[in-house]
Amino acid sequence: MNVLSKLGLAVAGVATIGSVTTVFDANEAYAATLTGSLSFTGTAGSVNTSINPVFDTILLREPILGTVTGDFVGTTITFLEERFDLTLSAVLDGDNSDGMTSAEYDFSAIPIFLTLSNGYSFSLDAGSLLRLREQEGGSQPLVTVFGAGPLTGTFTNGSEVVAGLGSLTFTRVPGSSGYSASLSTVVIPTPALLPGLIGMGVAALRRKQNEESAEENS
C-alpha cells in the first residue's frame, strides 16, 4: 500500500515561499488523480455528557449527502465511521456558571473514516476536536463537537493506492446536536513542479535579504 501519512508531512524537501512552507517527499510516487469535494450533515451524540471528562465518545448518526463536485458527482456515502474516541488534551472553559463549558480533545487516526460508492475511501489522520457542553436549567446537557481547523487524511482507491490527500472541515449546528462536514481533495506537488517551487522559494528568500539589507543601509 502506498501511504501518505498527512497533509504537509514529508521528509525529503522543503520550498519556502514567503511565510508559507511547502513540504514534500521527493521519493514518493503520487497517483493524485482524484479531485472534487463533497459535503454531508447529520446528528451526533455524546456517550459521556459530564463537564470536560477525561474520555468521551462521539457517535455520528447516518450522514445525509449534500453538495458534490468533481469526481464525487454521482457517488453516495456507503460507510461512515460512527465513533470518535476522544481524550482530553486541554480545558478551555471549566466554569459552568453560565451553563457552558468547553475543552480540546485528541483522537487517534481512523484507518477508514468514510467510503464512497465509486470505490474510494478516506482515512483520517490523528487530530483534535473542540467539545462544547451546553445546559440550560435542569434540562439535559447538549454536547457538540467541531474542528478548530481543517482535519487531514488520505484518499485511496479500491486497490489501496493513494489517489490524493483530503481536507475535512467539521462544524457544529448551534443549539442542536447536528453537525456539518465538508471533505475536499488537496493538490499534491508533482515532481515536475518541485524545481519551480524551489526556485520560487530561493527568489523569495533573496528578495527578503535584499529588503533587509536596504533597510540597514538607509
Q: Which pLDDT score, from 0 to 100, does residue 89 have?
A: 97
82 and 111 part of one domain: yes
142 and 201 part of one domain: no
Q: What is the pLDDT along the chain (218 residues), one digit of tens a residue?
A: 333 322 222 222 222 222 222 233 433 444 557 889 999 999 999 999 999 999 999 999 889 999 999 999 999 999 999 999 999 999 999 999 999 999 999 999 999 999 999 999 999 999 999 999 998 877 889 999 998 888 999 999 888 888 889 999 989 888 788 999 999 998 765 554 445 545 555 555 566 566 666 666 66
56 and 86 part of one domain: yes
Q: Which pLDDT score, from 0 to 100, does residue 199 have?
A: 55
14 and 38 part of one domain: no
23 and 39 part of one domain: no
Looking up cell 466554569 gives 95
Residue 93 makes CB contacts below 8 A (sequence gap 6+) with 100, 101, 102, 103
| Helix (H), strand (E), coil (C) string for 28-65 | CCCCCCCCEEEEEEEEEEECCCCCCCCEEEEEECCCEE
Residue 151 makes CB contacts below 8 A (sequence gap 6+) with 124, 125, 127, 167, 168, 169, 170
Q: Count CB neighbours of 4 within 10 A.
A: 23
Q: Which pLDDT score, from 0 to 100, does residue 1 have?
A: 36
Q: Which pLDDT score, from 0 to 100, does residue 197 have?
A: 46
| 108 phi/psi in degrees, rounded to 5 | -80, 165
16 and 91 part of one domain: no
Q: What DSSP designation does 189 have?
A: P
25 and 35 part of one domain: no
Q: Which pLDDT score, from 0 to 100, does residue 168 have?
A: 93
Look up residue 35 and give its three cell numbers. Answer: 479531485
3-class state of residue 146 by DSSP: strand
Q: Which pLDDT score, from 0 to 100, does residue 207 have?
A: 65
Neighbouring-strand partners of residue 113: none
Question: How open is the CA angle 78-151-170, to the nearest 5 degrees?
Answer: 65
149 and 52 part of one domain: yes
Q: How far is CA 5 from the centre of its chain?
A: 13
Q: Which pLDDT score, from 0 to 100, does residue 67 have?
A: 95
- Number of separate domains in the chain: 2
Structural domain of 218: 1-29+188-218
99 and 22 part of one domain: no
Q: Is residue 6 a contact partner of residue 125, using CB atoms and an 8 Å limit?
A: yes
94 and 144 part of one domain: yes
**Spatial CA neighbour of 54 closest among 123, 168, 131:** 131
69 and 161 part of one domain: yes
128 and 176 part of one domain: yes
Antiparallel, parallel or unpaired: β 121-124 and 55-60: unpaired
Residue 23 makes CB contacts below 8 A (sequence gap 6+) with 8, 9, 10, 13, 14
